[in-house]
Amino acid sequence: MKQTLQLRLGQHLTMTPQLQQAIRLLQLSSLELQTEIQEILDSNVMLESSEDSDSYVSQETEKNQNSNDKSETNLDLQDTSIPNDLPTDSNWEDTFDNLPTSPATHNSDYNSQAYETANDRSESLHETLNWQLNLTSFSDTDSLIATHIIDSINDDGYLSLSVKEIHANINKDNDLDEIELDEIEAVLHLIQTFEPAGVAARDLQENLAIQLANKNSDDSLDKLAVTLINEHFDLLANRDYPQLMRRMKLSEENLAAVIDIITSLNPRPGSQITDQKPEYVIPDVSVKKINGVWKVKLNKDNTPSLRINSQYADLIKNIKNNSDNNTLKDHLQEAKWFIKSLSSRNDTLLKVANSIVKHQRAFLDYGDEAMKALVLHDIAEEVEMHESTISRVTTKKYMHTPRGIFELKYFFSSHVSTTNGGECSATAIRALIKKLVLSENRKKPLSDNKLAEILSEQGIKIARRTIAKYREALAIPPSNERKRLQ
Q: What is the pLDDT of residue 115?
A: 39
Q: What is the pLDDT of residues 403-417, one digit of tens each?
A: 999 999 999 988 777
What's the mean pLDDT in 239-250? Answer: 91
Distance from C-alpha of 388 to C-alpha of 287, rounded to nearest angstrom = 24
pLDDT for the residue 54? 44
Measured CA to CA, the distance from residue 473 to residue 455 in angstroms comes to: 18
Q: Is the pLDDT of residue 278 over 70?
A: no
What pLDDT does residue 75 have?
42
The residue among 44, 43, 63 whose CA lies nearest residue 53 is 63
Residue spans in the chain of domains classed CATH 1.10.10.60? 414-482
Asked if 77 contacts 332 with a C-beta cutoff of 8 angstroms, the reply is no
* Segment among 319-328, 358-367, 438-447 with least mean pLDDT: 319-328
Residue 81's pLDDT is: 54
pLDDT tens-digit series, residues 170-208: 887 666 667 888 999 999 999 999 989 999 999 999 999
For the segment 112-129, the average pLDDT, to the nearest whole number, is: 58
C-alpha separations of 137 from 145, 170, 214, 443 in Å: 13, 20, 20, 50
Give the mean pLDDT of 268-293. Answer: 82
pLDDT the model gives residue 51: 58
Per-residue pLDDT, 87 = 58
Measured from the Cβ of residue 374, the count of other Cβ atoms closer than 10 Å reads 21
Residue 47 pLDDT > 70:
yes
pLDDT at 92 over 80: no
The length of the chain in residues reads 486
Q: Average pLDDT for residues 35-62, to the nearest whole number?
A: 70
CA distance 21 to 25: 6
Single-letter amino acid code for the residue at 235: L
What mean pLDDT value characterizes the chain? 81
End-to-end CA distance of the chain: 90
pLDDT higher than threshold 90 for residue 229:
yes
Average pLDDT over residues 111-123: 42
pLDDT of 58 reads 44
pLDDT of residue 162 exceeding 60, the answer is: yes
Architecture per CATH, 414-482? Orthogonal Bundle (1.10)
Element (H, E) at 297: strand 293-298
SS3 content of the chain, % helix, strand, coil (to 5): 50, 10, 40
Do 90 and 386 meet the contact criterion of CB atoms below 8 Å apart? yes
Q: What is the average per-residue pLDDT within 218-233?
A: 91
Tell me which DSSP letter residue 187 carries.
H
What's residue 194's pLDDT?
Answer: 92
Q: Are strands 398-401 and 116-117 parallel, antiparallel or unpaired?
A: unpaired
When pLDDT is cut at 50, 70 and 90, the band that residue 321 belongs to is confident
Q: What dihedral angle (degrees, nearest 10) is formed by the CA atoms of 375, 379, 384, 387?
A: -40
Q: Are strands 116-117 and 280-281 parallel, antiparallel or unpaired?
A: antiparallel
Q: How confident is the model at residue 150 (pLDDT cuts 50, 70, 90)?
A: very high
Neighbours of 2 (CB within 10 A): 3
- Nearest one of 397, 410, 395, 396 to 364, comparing CA atoms: 410
The full DSSP string for 84-151 is SS----S--TTT-PPPPPPPP---S-TTS-S-EES------HHHHHHHHHHTS---HHHHHHHHHHHH
Q: Taking residues 428-451, report their average pLDDT.
A: 91
Q: At what angle do helices 322-359 and 376-383 cross, to 10 degrees?
A: 120
Please determine, for residue 375, whether its predicted confidence score (pLDDT) is greater than 70.
yes
Q: What is the per-residue pLDDT for 10? A: 63
Cα–Cα distance for residue pair 65/276, rounded to 1 Å: 39
- Asked whether the predicted pLDDT for residue 392 surpasses 50, the reply is yes
Residue 483's CB: how many other CB atoms inside 10 A?
15
**How many Å apart are CA 259 and CA 221, to the nearest integer?**
9
341 has pLDDT over 60: yes
Using the predicted structure, report yes or no on whether residue 263 has a pLDDT greater than 50. Answer: yes
The whole-number average pLDDT for the span 294-304 is 87
Q: How many of the other CB atoms lie within 10 Å of CB of 268?
A: 15
Pairing of the two strands 398-401 and 285-290: parallel
207 with 157: CB under 8 angstroms? yes
Higher local confidence (pLDDT), 111 or 338: 338
Mean pLDDT over residues 140-165, rounded?
91
Q: What is the per-residue pLDDT for 282? A: 87
Mean pLDDT across 283-287: 95
**Among 98-107, 198-207, 339-348, which stretch is predicted with the lowest mean pLDDT?**
98-107
Of all residues in the chain, the percent with pLDDT exceeding 70 is 79
pLDDT of residue 1: 59
Specify the pLDDT at position 52. Answer: 44
**CA 231 – CA 227 distance, rounded (Å):** 6
The answer to whether 55 touches 306, Cβ cutoff 8 Å, is: yes
- Which residues does residue 116 pair with via DSSP β-bridges, in sequence order? 281
Instruction: Write the CB contacts of 463 (distance below 8 Å, at least 6 apart in sequence).
Output: 452
Say whether 401 sits in a helix, a strand or coil: strand
303 pLDDT above the threshold of 70? yes
